[in-house]
Chain A
Amino acid sequence: MIGRISRTTAALLIFAVSVFPVYWMVLTAFKPTKDIQSATPTFLPIPITFDHFGTAIAAKGFFSFWRNSLLVAGGAVVLALVVALLAAFAIARLRWKGRRAFVLMVFVAQMTPWEALLIPIYVIARDTGMLDTLWILTLVYFMMTLPFTIVTLRGFLAAIPVDLEEAAQVDGCTRGQAFRKVVFPLLAPGLLATSLFGFITAWNEFAFANVLIIKDQDDRTLPVWLSSFNNTFGTDWGATMAASTLFMLPVLLIFIVLQGRVTTGIVGGAVKG
C-alpha cells in the first residue's frame, strides 16, 4: 500500500517536472501582460488573451523566417529522401563488394560531431560564395539527416519481403515497375516517418543557421530569430513565449501524427493476400 502511494507520487512528480516548462511557456503566452508581471504568478490562463500571438506574428520578418525555415528543412528532407532511398535499396536488396564498409561509413557519418565543423563550413561557404544563402543551410541539413534517413529506410525496406517484388516480376513487371508499384506503396509510411524526423532535426537546428546567415537578417531561420528575442521583444515575455509556442507547434504536431504510425505490420497482410 505504502509502496503504491509512493510510486504514484513519484509518477506524478516526474510528470509534473517533465511537463511544467512547456506548460509554463504556453500559459505565459496566453496570459495578459499584467498577470505576467504580477508579484504572485497565476497558474491558470484566466483571463485568456491572444495579444501575445498577435505581437509575435506582427514582429518584423516573422513570415519570412517561417518561410525560410520551411524551405530549408523541406529542401533538406526531400534531398535526403531521394539520395537515401537509392542507397538503402542497394544495401537492403543487392549484394556487392564494399557493402559492409559502406554501412559502417553511414553509421560513422551519423555520429559526426557537427559542432566541430562550424569553422571549416563557414570558411568553405565563404570561399564558394554560399555564405548568407539558404543553399548552404539546405546542404548542411541534408547531410545531417542523410545517414539517419539511410539507416531507417534500410530498416523499413528490409522488412518488406523480396518475394513481393519477385512475384511482381514474374507477373511481367520490370524491376523498376516492381519497385514503384509494389515496394513503394508499402514503404510510404516509413518514408513519411523518416522524413518527418529529418524535418524536425532541420527545423530545430541553430548553430549553423547562426553562423552561416549573418549579413542579411531577413534570411535567418526561426531558431536564430527566437534566440535573439531580446532584440525583438525586449522584456516582453508574453510575446517571447508566444513565439516559442508557435515555433514548437509543428514539431508537436509531427510527434502526434507519428504516434503509432510507424508500423510495418501491414506487410504481413500483403504477402498472405
Chain B
Amino acid sequence: MTLLAERPVRETAPAVPKRRRRPVLAYVLIAPTVLTTAYLLLYPLVRNVIISLQEFGLPQLVRGDAKFVGLANYAKVLSDPEFWGVVRRTLLFTAINVVLIMVLSTLVALLLVRLGKGLRLLVMGGLVLTWATPIIAATTVFQWLFQSRLGVVNWALVALGFEEYRDYTWFADGEATFGILVTLIVWQSIPFAALSLYAAMITVPQELYEAARIDGAGAWRVFTTITFPMLRAMFGLITCLEVIWVVKAFVQIWVISQGGPGQATTTLPVYAFQVAQSLQRYDLGAAVSMLMVVLLVLALLAYFRQLYRQEREA
C-alpha cells in the first residue's frame, strides 16, 4: 500500500499556470490539516522531548509535577552499556534484514522480468498475498509454524534427517528467535521491494540489453553495467525505506518475544517501550526514543536526497 504513497506525484507541467491565486481560500482549506498535525503529531513529539528532559516516573505521571533535570536522562542512557548493546543489536538486525531484503528482492524482480506471463502473474499474485497479510496475522502464523511439538517447520526438519529439531523450542533460544524475526520481516518486506524494483526494471529500454548481449555480456555484467546504474536512485530509495522500516519494527518483536529471551531481540523501539512500560521510567524511555528518532532522521535525510535525485532522473 505504501507503493502508492511513497512516490510523490510529479507536478504536471500544464497544470501549474492553471492554478488560481486564491490564498485565503487555500489557507482555510489547509487549516484542518495544519491544526490536526500540530495537535496529533507535533505536540506529541514536543511532549516527548519535554518528558525526556524531566524526571518523569509513575509518581509524576499521577501527580503531574515533573521537574526539569536537563540532559540527565540522556547522560544516564548514554552511559549505560545495556543501551549500547541495544544499539549494536539494532544495527546488526537492520543490516542483516536490509541486505537480505534487497538481495532477494532484486533476484525476484530480475526473475519476474524474465518470466512468461502466466508464471509472472502467479508469482506476483503470491507476493501480493504476502503483502496483504496483516502483520499480526503473519506474526501469529509464524508462532504456529515454529511451534515446538506440532509446528510444521520442526516436522519438516526432522523428516529431512535433522533429528535434533524434534520438539526443538525455537523461542527459548536467543539466536533462534532472532533468526525467526529476521525471516518474518524479510518475508513481509520482499513484496514491496521486489514489485517496486520490477516496476522500475521494465522501464529500462530493451535495446540496451540487446546491445550488451550482442557484445557477449553475461547476466552479472548486464546487471552491474546497465540495470543497476540505470536504477541507482530507485535502489537507493528502496534501501532507505527498508532501513527506516526495519529500525522501527516493533510489533513483530513485541508480540513474538517482547525482546527476549533475555535481551536477545531487544532493538531500540522495543527497548524504549520496555523501559517506559515495565520500569515505568517514561523519562528514560522518551530519551531512548528520541535517540532512535535521531538515527531515523539520518536515514530519512538520505531518503529525501534519493527521492530528489529520482525525481530529477525520472
Interface residues of A (CB under 8 A from B): 7-8, 10-12, 14-19, 21-22, 24-25, 28, 36-37, 39-41, 82-84, 86-87, 89-97, 99, 102, 105-124, 126-127, 139-140, 142-143, 146-148, 150-152, 154-155, 158, 162, 197, 200-201, 203-204, 206-207, 210-211, 223, 226-227, 229, 237, 240-241, 244-245, 247-248, 251-252, 255, 262
Contact = CB atoms under 8 A, between A and B. Distances in A.
Nearest to B131: A255
A86 B33 contact: yes
A118 B289 CA distance: 9
Contacts of A17: 187
Interface stretch (B35-43, B67-75, B226-234): B35-43
Interface residues of B, number: 93
Pick the most buried of B45, B133, B272, B300: most chain A CB atoms within 10 A of its CB. B133
B48 A120 contact: yes
A229 B145 contact: no
Contacts of B300: 108, 111
Interface in B22-71: 22-23, 25-27, 29-30, 32-34, 36-37, 40-41, 43-45, 47-48, 51, 56, 61, 64
Contacts of B248: 113-116
B282 A123 contact: yes
A248 to B, nearest CB: 5
A90 B145 contact: no
Contacts of B136: 204, 206, 223, 226-227, 244, 247
Contacts of A146: 33, 36-37
Contact of B64 (A37, A127, A262): A127
A124 to B, nearest CB: 6
A102 B30 contact: yes
Contacts of B145: 21, 24
B141 interface: yes
Contact of B1 (A24, A91, A201, A211): A201
Contacts of A91: 30
A25 B292 contact: no
B282 A117 contact: no
A48 B47 CA distance: 54
A226 B26 contact: no
Given A18-B130, A90-B29, A120-B286, A151 B8 contact: yes
B19 interface: yes
A121 to B, nearest CB: 5
B160 interface: no
A10 B286 CA distance: 46
Contact of A11 (B9, B123, B276, B282): B123
A89 B5 CA distance: 17
19 contacts: A7-B119, A22-B129, A22-B133, A25-B137, A36-B150, A95-B19, A95-B21, A96-B23, A99-B26, A102-B30, A117-B48, A119-B272, A120-B45, A146-B37, A147-B5, A151-B5, A151-B9, A152-B5, A207-B250
Given A84-B33, A94-B20, A109-B37, A116 B140 contact: no
Contacts of A108: 300
A21 B187 contact: yes
Interface in B186-217: 187, 190-191
Given A206-B136, A241-B144, A155 B29 contact: no
Contact of B140 (A37, A96, A152, A227): A227
**Chain A CB within 10 Å — which of B12, B40, B56, B122 has the most?**
B40
A40 B154 CA distance: 11
* Shortest 4 CB-CB contacts between residues of A and residues of B: A155-B9, A18-B126, A96-B26, A143-B40
Given A37-B150, A97-B23, A158-B9, A244 B140 contact: yes
A119 B132 contact: no
Nearest to B191: A18
A105 B4 contact: no
Contact of A154 (B9, B130, B140, B273): B9
Contact of B142 (A7, A21, A155, A237): A21
A229 B144 CA distance: 12
A252 B142 CA distance: 19
B61 A126 contact: yes
Contacts of B29: 86-87, 89-90, 94
A11 B20 contact: no
Contacts of B296: 113, 116
